[in-house]
Amino acid sequence: GQSLEQPSEVTAVEGAIVQINCTYQTSGFYGLSWYQQHDGGAPTFLSYNALDGLEETGRFSSFLSRSDSYGYLLLQELQMKDSASYFCAVRDDTDKLIFGTGTRLQVFP
Amino acid sequence: DGGITQSPKYLFRKEGQNVTLSCEQNLNHDAMYWYRQDPGQGLRLIYYSQIVNDFQKGDIAEGYSVSREKKESFPLTVTSAQKNPTAFYLCASTPIGTSGRNEQFFGPGTRLTVL
């Protein structure tokens, strides 16, 4: 079956750095994406990796290793507003997005 | 303003009733999707459509039906056959051809509660 595994919860303090890991097993692979979802809200797109390596977008970076079927989202200089759930997603060979189970990030002052 | 709208935001239904959730987009996107999200869970795909008058089942299509008569609209009907319909329903869209970024645009969601 298809699966994307993420830690269920991560906690950190303001100003810290946190890494959210994602390992995937899918039929086909056409890129790894990350989405942020605040409680009660809709997911919003954060980043995308098609090739191995690190992509940086402001305080957020995302990494991919296709040989390891692994990626991570790195959040730096954490702020209270970063408290949310974060989902990794892979596009498979049927052009669908498969979402991970989500990681709930709690940032404390 | 371009975007995706879903209505209503909150919906209550009695057991045994069918209910239709609305999803409209003015982004001129070709593909549209319906997801279900349960508390503390990820998004599970119900149905998707990549072109008008065509749609495919997702992973949890049983008890749901859709139509795609217009590019802008992709309503979802939750039928009485759906055993446990209480959930948060999200509609999304993406343009075909530029989906290489795997970027889907989501509506605000409809929270359905069966009484």
Task: Give the nearest partner residue to B42 out of A45, A91, A99, using CB atoms.
Answer: A99
pLDDT of residue B102: 77
CB contact under 8 A, A45 and B40: no
Residue B46, CA distances (Å) to A17, A43, B34 in order: 35, 16, 5
C-alpha torsion A15→A16→A22→A23, nearest 10:
160
pLDDT tens digits, residue range A56-85?
Answer: 989 999 999 999 999 999 999 999 999 999
Give me the pLDDT at residue B55, please: 96
CB atoms inside a 10 Å sphere around CB A35: 27
How high does pLDDT run on average in chain B? 91
> β-strands B31-37, B87-94: how paired?
antiparallel
Write the pLDDT tens digit of every residue in B57-80: 999 999 999 999 999 999 999 998
Q: What backbone torsions phi and psi does residue B103 show, to the nearest 5 degrees?
A: -95, 115
> Which chain A residue's Cα is nearest to B99?
A95
Identify all chain B residues contacting A50, using CB atoms and an 8 Å cutoff.
100
Which residues contact residue B18 at a Cβ distance below 8 angstroms, ignoring those fewer than 6 apart?
B77, B78, B79, B80
> What does the pLDDT read at residue A82?
98
How high is the pLDDT of residue B1? 63
- Number of Cβ pairs closer than 8 Å across A and B? 56
